[in-house]
Chain A
Amino acid sequence: EAQVTQNPRYLITVTGKKLTVTCSQNMNHEYMSWYRQDPGLGLRQIYYSMNVEVTDKGDVPEGYKVSRKEKRNFPLILESPSPNQTSLYFCASSLIGGFGTGELFFGEGSRLTVL
């Protein structure tokens, strides 16, 4: 089954404790991206990757890191989480990014709470 898998789905952590949210896709997609969803705001892009070893900042990259060492994986790293990073996070992948019919396929979301 074609899917984007995120882990963990739910996490409560404390300020400053490094954490990683994993994202994996099995569709051989070139493009992967991370978004955060906050009340009253649309999905905001954190980072995206057009291909292996190619990553770039979205609109809200502060406090986050990513890596793309393999095509299928795109982890989101919070080196020192703060309460303002409490949010619902989505990973998404696309065959060719925004070009052509590059619709996004979303993971199930990861709800993160930073105390």
Chain B
Amino acid sequence: ILNVEQSPQSLHVQEGDSTNFTCSFPSSNFYALHWYRWETAKSPEALFVMTLNGDEKKKGRISATLNTKEGYSYLYIKGSQPEDSATYLCAFIRDTGNQFYFGTGTSLTVIP
């Protein structure tokens, strides 16, 4: 079983703080890395799909970077807002393209 790790497991920040978390994955057989946002009582929704080493993606206040050689991706949230409170999941896709391996997620709580 392939191991994808996310840290920290949970995070509490004040509104307005910037924060970041990590997804670590195997550096071999890499095809893609996905980030998903999962709000309580809802379904996970895709944030980013990243495929190239050095990729940087941005959506509003949220951005992500990718280092496939060392096997990690960072997700950054600038100026956190209460509506950013959610669990953030990463998923590693190996080069066969057919299996998704999820981390356990980082639970973010933004305190107003």
Interface residues, chain A, with chain B CB atoms under 8 Å away: 31, 33, 35, 40-45, 48, 50, 56, 58-59, 90, 97-99, 101-109
Contact = CB atoms under 8 A, between A and B. Distances in A.
B46 interface: yes
How big is chain B's contact interface, by range?
Answer: 20 to 34
A109 B99 contact: no
A108 B44 CA distance: 9
A16 B42 CA distance: 30
A108 to B, nearest CB: 5
B44 A106 contact: yes
B86 interface: no
A6 to B, nearest CB: 9
Contacts of B91: 43, 104
Given A58-B99, A103-B34, A104-B34, A42 B43 contact: no
A42 B105 contact: yes
Contacts of A101: 49
Contacts of A41: 104
B6 to A, nearest CB: 8
Contacts of A102: 32, 49, 97
A56 B46 CA distance: 24
B43 A103 contact: no
10 contacts: A31-B98, A42-B89, A42-B101, A43-B102, A44-B102, A48-B98, A50-B98, A101-B49, A102-B32, A104-B100
A33 B44 contact: no
B98 A98 contact: yes
Contacts of A108: 42-43
B45 interface: yes
B46 A103 contact: yes
B4 A42 contact: yes
A73 to B, nearest CB: 18
B89 A98 contact: no
Interface in B1-34: 1, 4, 31-32, 34
B99 A98 contact: yes
